[in-house]
A and B are shown apart, each in its own frame.
Chain A
Amino acid sequence: MSAEPTPRREVVTGEPRRVRPLPRYRAQSEIDEQTALGDAYVRSLMRGQLRAGLTAFAVLALAAGTLPLVFAALGSAAVVWAVLGFATGPPLTLIAWWYVRRAERNERDFARLVEGRPTP
């Protein structure tokens, strides 16, 4: 910027045009086309992903559902300290890692299928 006093700026906005924003739930043609074309594909992908998710969740639910009963039966506080305090992180992370790998593999397979590429 030069040393001479900077000329003043003025704020300018367009006049309100009383435009109504486009309808909020306008069906987007591209996605519609995609849907009409690949609805069955998407359903199968969803089933695959849901299966992966439910498997991971089932493992978690089984553990979380039975552990309190096991602890109650054992009646040893030290075991509870050890298991809950220090031994839950790794298995949880492992399940998560397994799930992500499976979900991403599902998506890769799906993409390959849709694009008509052969499985390597």
Chain B
Amino acid sequence: MTGAGIAVVAVIAVLLFGTGYLLGRTGRPVRTSDVGTPVEHATFETLHTASLAAPPLRAGLTEESARRSARRLRSLLGTDALCLTDRDRVLVWDGEGDHHAKGVMEHVQGLLASGRDTAFPTDCADLDCPLRWAVAVPLTVDHRVLGTLIAFAPRESAVLARAAGEVARWVCVQLELAELDRSRTKLIEAEIKALRAQISPHFIFNSLAAIASFVRTDPEQARELLLEFADFTRYSFRRHGEFTTLADELHSIDQYLALVRARFGPRLAVTLQVAPEVLPVALPFLCLQPLVENAVKHGLEGAVTDSRIRISALDAGAEAEVVIEDDGTGMDPERLRQILRGEGGTSTGIGLLNVDERLRQVYGDEYGLVIETGVGAGMKITLRFPKYRAGVHGS
């Protein structure tokens, strides 16, 4: 995505260079200089102006960003006036003849609907007004028209029409990048939210409390737990990489369980069955641990009796099959369906939903979670991971 974006920007930059060069030749007297040729100067100036106009647009198409970029864009095009609009109103008018701003939205209604470039005469009553003709081009992101860019000129100009189109495309790339930035931020936010949901403050507090309780009685144990805790949080908060390996994920679960055991002691029994053949399988980062945490929660929640958790990772040909089962309180299947539809509301089950969504996102719908549960019947979660999927690489 970014790679393609960068490529597009590069192409546009080349186009701009060409346009700027042409404009530089036609619009202004050629300056002479001791340093560098006129062409080099024109190139530099064009690129410099373009780069100055870019940062504001990276915030998206708003009045503020439009205001800050409009002057640069106008000097890039070398027109008398330039106007940016969103779908409803004029965001900014730069240059002369802002009395046209009122009527301009009427002219672009067709464009907003069709997404096609248009040109129109201004038909200005004021004969001194230099703005006799305008070209309007759409600003689109993902095939949606966000607004328009309108350039005004004293007469019809094919070059200006083309140049306006190129500048608009360049603006679009900036806006697309803005969109990308936004969704990436959203993604990171979601990730952090999910992580916070998984590693609840309770857990951190309880772990530290448990560790503290050992400090006097069993310093060696406390030291070990503290190391586990550090390791666990380091893994959970690691930022690079979307994927991990089953071995690493299981290792992190182990540390998590060690911390839980320190608190609950023998009330929690864990059985593991791991086929060593599947340990190298790559899988989305932190997609087992929330489920184990769920199982622990269900098992120990209000239960008077001891709790048992079974985790197995078996080899199934071209896939690995992971099962996490507890004999805890279970869950009402209807409620679970709600949670998986994203209608859960409270924080419970965010782990389940998050894992289910990520698995489907990465591997497709047929790899979603399969959960067997009932009220008081414990819960068994089955996950399948293809041993190989293009683009999925552990670590």
Contacts and interface: CB of A to CB of B under 8 A. Distances in A.
Interface string A6-17: 111111111111
A8 B340 CA distance: 20
Contacts of A11: 370-372
B360 A14 contact: yes
Given A2-B305, A7-B374, A26-B1, A12 B333 contact: yes
B376 interface: yes
Contact of A18 (B337, B365, B369, B380): B365
Contacts of B377: 6-9
Contact of A21 (B240, B327, B364): B364
Nearest to B376: A7
Given A12-B336, A18-B365, A21-B362, A28 B374 contact: no
Size range of the interface on B?
35 or more
A19 B241 CA distance: 22
A30 B242 CA distance: 10
B365 A26 contact: no
A17 B365 contact: yes
Nearest to B356: A14
Interface in B314-334: 327, 330, 333
A13 B357 CA distance: 11
B362 A13 contact: no
Contact of B365 (A8, A19, A23): A19
Contacts of A21: 360-364
B390 A9 contact: no
Contacts, number: 85
Contacts of A20: 364
Contact of B340 (A10, A12, A26, A32): A12
A14 B375 contact: no
Contact of B341 (A7, A8, A14): A14
Given A1-B327, A25-B391, A13 B369 contact: yes
B2 interface: yes
Contacts of A15: 340-341
Nearest to A26: B391
A17 B305 CA distance: 39
B24 interface: no
A10 B360 contact: no
Contact of A12 (B3, B327, B337, B360): B337
B78 interface: no
Contacts of A6: 377-378
A23 B391 contact: yes
Interface in B232-259: 240-241
B114 to A, nearest CB: 28
A7 to B, nearest CB: 4
Nearest to B360: A19
A79 to B, nearest CB: 44
Nearest to A10: B333
Given A21-B363, A25-B391, A28-B393, A14 B369 contact: yes
Contacts of B56: none
A47 B364 CA distance: 39
A76 interface: no
A12 B376 contact: no
Contacts of A28: 391, 393
Given A7-B374, A9-B378, A22-B362, A14 B368 contact: yes
Given A9-B378, A28-B393, A16 B365 contact: yes
Contacts of A7: 330, 374-377
23 contacts: A7-B374, A7-B377, A8-B374, A9-B330, A9-B372, A9-B377, A9-B378, A10-B372, A10-B373, A11-B370, A12-B336, A12-B340, A12-B372, A13-B369, A13-B370, A14-B356, A14-B368, A16-B368, A19-B361, A21-B363, A25-B391, A30-B240, A30-B241
Given A8-B377, A12-B340, A28-B391, 17 more contacts: A6-B377, A6-B378, A7-B375, A9-B372, A10-B372, A11-B370, A12-B373, A13-B370, A14-B353, A14-B360, A16-B368, A18-B365, A19-B361, A24-B389, A26-B391, A29-B3, A30-B240
The 9 closest A-B pairs by CB, nearest first: A14-B340, A7-B377, A10-B333, A24-B390, A9-B372, A21-B364, A16-B365, A7-B376, A9-B374
